[in-house]
Structure 1
């Protein structure tokens, strides 16, 4: 199967298959953003399970209050992350990358900072923050870096049609792209031309007045022009249609756009694949062979293989099924599908993340009070 063949990312990095474990929050970091043994164990599990590329949960580029969120805003975080990368490399053939993120303030009082609230000085520091974090990721032994340009966070919010700034960072698509261009340029300079640099974007925001494929395709082409090695296509996860709950911070994964970001069981399989397929067509039409990653309700290796054979994407991101059974890739490759603990897309893992609890699969059994993760 094509799914299990080696894949070269721009001749810079060779993966032993086309399966990506995309970012899934674990809530296993410390509240100060440091790596724990439990967090290392979780990512090593994904790596040993057979994913070709493991992308970590979001890693903050800025020092700010954020709960159990990994960080790369200071050199003090490099040793812990180096332990993570070394262990993954020592115990598996997988490659590993951090997803680096900048986010805006939000509080339980209902306050939510928007891109319109940022001063020019605050905006101007963002490319440097990303570049410094990317450079630290190199020193920590990561194989690639993914820029988080999707969902509800800062970079996606600048790219969005919901960005109503009236200066050079808002309004037309050209202006909304400005900050992303600066971040990519600064990050590329920091990591060098031979290091894999990718980004995750929204193929569609699925909000009234937000970006659709028309804008996302243009964004992808511009990012490819700037030299990104891959574009991982996600969707939704926006504040604009989030469902408010009294006494709780606004959650961007509670509305319809949130469902499109992590499609529940009542949505069709491959529900978001067409987004990646159309973006790939746009890239090819513009003359770029940038790697495209797709995600969203792809439960089996057979379905993933069909996506590859149809030329709809180059890599397949499998999140919740690998969380459910970390050995999904290994068992699928060996024809042991009947041994896979299958994801039921109930999104209880998402609920745990939203409650700042350790993220596990509700199907994992317990023995004497200890969680039993599926075996190889």
Structure 2
């Protein structure tokens, strides 16, 4: 299928292209099933719509939520989603992606408590909240890596400007995750995500086939950090456990990936079952890394990086990975990924997939940036407004990659269009400088 931008004016047209892809995606014109609640331990998730962790890169220098951070979560809370999975929160200073990433510590615990109170007070549905705990690894300012990687080194670290984290440092990092989980529980979060995706540090360890020591080589060693950290939190902290997980890396020789970059999901299926046995209550589905293959985890139409495939193929891949994840779990809830590119029809795909038992909840990321009250429209009106939806232009991703404050340049232009224009001007100046040197 030839690559093209979204151009569907009806479900009938979308179904025709899905048929061409031989993809039997369940689409439902009745979205009422998304209003159903879910029980998780003694807590209710009030509906089947989730907001994915979307980094705004706008924290204060010490990692405290800024006024712009609070504005974003106030808008999400007002929007009516039943679950809000907050953006990446660093567990230590060395693991921050940049100086504008959230960082939870004892000194700013009160401000995180206030953020959770704001979300709860602004929402009519009392959303379930997840804290995404992270270490940015090779994509952080300190260039900390688990091993040298011929695919990722060229796009993430400078030659001889990196640190291969030691086993002893990883042992200590487990304790940093535990401390962050304790603080998250005190702040009022319902769950913590031991983030293992997009080839940040923990995700990278899953692919550490050539690393020596107890955190590399065998399957047991490569999954050791994730599982031991989960056990530490489970044994010490009264909070639900979640994982945003790369189901596969889509990088040759990566996690659950063959040498050609195709999925080889036997280890992924095994890990999913083990995470459920360890007590993980939520799995949030994703794949690959936006730093190398953004079209895999975020199908889109435009941008400096040209997708090598029709975006609908990317949607198909993510939704099939969601179905695979659901099929390999019994009790753990699954949050599906891949709906935003479908614009207003993402609601129909979400409802159809929940009804067909392909997923338990539908997660929307970029859509929430562009259209923060999308969930309310689905739940109350049965559909999304086509004039408000994300147009998958990738400008929010460009801002985040450039370590700028990130949001929707199109739908929230008063704040983010000037920042985007500033970025474009910087790029032009850099190009001129490079041309004259």
What TM-score does the superposition give when structure 1 sets the normalisation length? 0.86
From 58, 65, 72, give the equivalent of 1:28. Answer: 58
Distance 1:331-1:163 versus aligned 2 partners, 3 A rule: same
> What is the CA–CA distance in structure 1 between the aligned matches of 2:417 and 2:167, rounded to whole Å?
50
> 1:93-242 to 2 correspondence within 5 Å?
93-105=126-138, 112-116=143-147, 117-160=164-207, 162-192=208-238, 195-212=239-256, 213-237=265-289
Q: Could you say what secondary structure the match of 1:312 adopts?
A: coil
Distance 1:273-1:67 versus aligned 2 partners, 3 A rule: same
Q: Could you say what secondary structure the match of 1:346 adopts?
A: coil
Q: Could you say what secondary structure the match of 1:125 adopts?
A: helix
Number of aligned positions between the proteins: 344
Measure how far apart 1:164 and its partner are: 1.7
Structure that is richer in helix per residue: 2
Measure how far apart 1:308 and its partner are: 0.7
Q: Deviations over 1:250-281 (max 9, x none)?
A: xxx2432x321212134114430111211221
Q: Do structure 1's residue 264 and structure 2's residue 264 form an aligned pair?
A: no
For 1:255, the equivalent position in structure 2 comes to: 292
For 2:371, the equivalent position in structure 1 comes to: 325
**Considering only CA atoms, is the larger Rg found in Structure 1 or Structure 2?**
2
- Give unpaired runs (5+ residues) of structure 2: 1-31, 148-163, 257-264, 302-309, 419-437
Query: Contact between 2:406 and 2:416, CA under 8 Å: does it hold in 1?
Result: no
> What is the CA–CA distance in structure 1 between the aligned matches of 2:372 and 2:182, rounded to whole Å?
29
For 2:348, the equivalent position in structure 1 comes to: 302
> What is the CA–CA distance in structure 2 between the aligned matches of 1:87 and 1:327, rounded to whole Å?
16
Q: Do structure 1's residue 346 and structure 2's residue 388 form an aligned pair?
A: no
Query: Contact between 1:331 and 1:339, CA under 8 Å: does it hold in 2?
Result: no
Q: Could you say what secondary structure the match of 1:208 adopts?
A: coil
Query: Contact between 2:130 and 2:190, CA under 8 Å: does it hold in 1?
Result: yes
> What is the CA–CA distance in structure 2 between the aligned matches of 1:366 and 1:200, rounded to whole Å?
30
- Give unpaired runs (5+ residues) of structure 1: 238-252, 372-376
Measure how far apart 1:163 and its partner are: 3.8
Measure how far apart 1:370 and its partner are: 9.3
For 2:305, the equivalent position in structure 1 comes to: none
Structure 1 stretches (4+) deviating beyond 3 angstroms?
A: 105-108, 365-371
